[in-house]
């Protein structure tokens, strides 16, 4: 439940900066980071980064609706995540 609340807080436009994020592992063996910063492309989504062990990174925008986290990657592909599978992180 606290993860769901955090996702809702990230969707709030007043939430401008915090050293908090959600993450999960990706199929390439890297991580997907769901950040709280707005996407520059449209201003409504939040930034998401997906890293690979090789060091390359792809970016996209994530949105929370219909009880799921939806990602539109810069390639145009779409991914959907259950918020319960994401891990909450906070910088020390």
Of the candidate CATH numbers 1.25.40, 2.40.128, 2.60.120, 2.60.40, the domain formed by 2-90 belongs to: 2.40.128
Q: Pull the structure tokens for residue 14.
A: 């007043």
Which residues touch 21 (CB under 8 Å, ≥6 apart)? 33, 34, 35, 36, 89
Tokens describing residue 29? 């063996």
Assess whether pLDDT exceeds 80 at residue 78.
yes
- Distance in Å from the first CA to the final CA of the chain: 22
Report the pLDDT value the prediction gives residue 59, as an integer from 0 to 100.
Answer: 93
The overall pTM is greater than 0.85: no
Categorize the per-residue pLDDT at 53 as very low, low, confident or very high, splitting at 50, 70 and 90: confident
């Amino acid at each position: 439940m606290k993860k769901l609340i955090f996702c809702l807080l990230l969707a709030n436009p007043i939430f401008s900066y915090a050293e908090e994020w959600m993450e999960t592992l990706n199929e390439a063996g890297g991580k997907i980071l769901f950040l709280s910063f707005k996407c520059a492309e449209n201003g409504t989504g939040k930034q998401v980064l997906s890293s690979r062990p090789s060091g390359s990174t792809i970016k996209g925008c994530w949105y929370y609706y219909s009880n799921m986290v939806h990602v539109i990657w810069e390639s145009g592909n779409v991914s959907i995540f259950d918020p319960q599978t994401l891990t909450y992180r906070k910088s020390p």
